[in-house]
Structure 1
């Protein structure tokens, strides 16, 4: 799991700091040895782009294959991402459906091979996690 360092598409918006995003990821995955939180985007200066992260991962972990897990909202905007054509050739894109969410073919950009991930998942949002962290509330459930 890699929290965004300086998300270029959210410039000028009120968002959690990179340190807060890192801590939220660590809290959310604590106790799960199958998930590692990496701070490679947090440590990079300037805007962070997914393609640069993937290139760094390939260099540092050549034996691994990587996937990009996106919710429906992020998937709708993927074609606006920096060097998206290169990105989608290098990684598998997984669309994560929240509980009860239906697949809308209009939301899937043309030219991207998407795999759908559905099943029993936590019905939670990053907004809810941010609110809990701000109140020092437990986010482990």
Structure 2
């Protein structure tokens, strides 16, 4: 049986914090791979304005290019409408009968679990893995495997703001992603 971690999100843009989380969980749980799964339209985000999915997928591919156990999983980008984790996991479980899935979330999403679409059914299909995030608890009435990771307080929204103001993102983004953002004039880069 394969053991696959999934880290989902908008990845708008992907950053070193995402990569750190994936690598730490990969090692801590002895997973075979970690799939980066960008969502099409996240149901829990108020601001639905996202960078084009082609750009977001390309940035992920660039960021994970040098890690043999990291994979871009575009399944949610290939579907229309809201990206509910339940619907996606149901498809993945049906297509990968020999795989145990571990869905990696931060403390903010652990607290949000009671509001997830079909959460009770979802918990029967996957194992949730909660990583620590400053200011949030990983305690939940749902079964969540906890993995401690080094604290790296960074967010995509903070990076978008920095990029729009021409602030430094060195050591926050992979260099090839930073160059891609500059070359494609994303987030106010000229």
Which range, TM-score by smaller chain?
A: 0.7 to 0.9
Distance 1:133 1:50, change over 3 A: farther
Find out whether 1:108 has 2:139 as its counterpart.
yes
Partner of 1:76: 111
Once residues 121 and 27 of structure 1 are traced to their aligned partners in structure 2, the CA distance between those partners, rounded to angstroms, is 24
TM-score by length of 1: 0.78
Once residues 158 and 72 of structure 2 are traced to their aligned partners in structure 1, the CA distance between those partners, rounded to angstroms, is 20
Within 5 A, what are the aligned runs for 1:8-23?
Answer: 8-23=43-58
**RMSD between aligned alpha carbons?**
2.7
CA offsets 1:98-127 (integer angstroms, 9 cap, x no match): 4xx4874xx5221x1111111346553222
Distance 1:90 1:70, change over 3 A: same
Once residues 9 and 102 of structure 1 are traced to their aligned partners in structure 2, the CA distance between those partners, rounded to angstroms, is 19
Aligned length: 135
Stretches of structure 2 lacking an aligned partner (at least 5 in a row)? 1-35, 176-190
Distance 1:133 1:41, change over 3 A: farther
Higher strand share: 2
Once residues 36 and 133 of structure 1 are traced to their aligned partners in structure 2, the CA distance between those partners, rounded to angstroms, is 26
Give structure 1 regions of 4+ aligned residues with deviation exceeding 2 angstroms. 11-28, 101-104, 119-135
Within 5 A, what are the aligned runs for 1:40-119?
Answer: 40-98=75-133, 101=134, 104=137, 108-110=139-141, 112-119=142-149
Look up the SS of the partner of 1:69 in the other structure: strand
Aligned with 1:30 (options 56, 65, 76): 65
Preserved CA contact (<8 Å) 1:41 1:48: yes
Preserved CA contact (<8 Å) 2:103 2:126: yes
Look up the SS of the partner of 1:41 in the other structure: coil
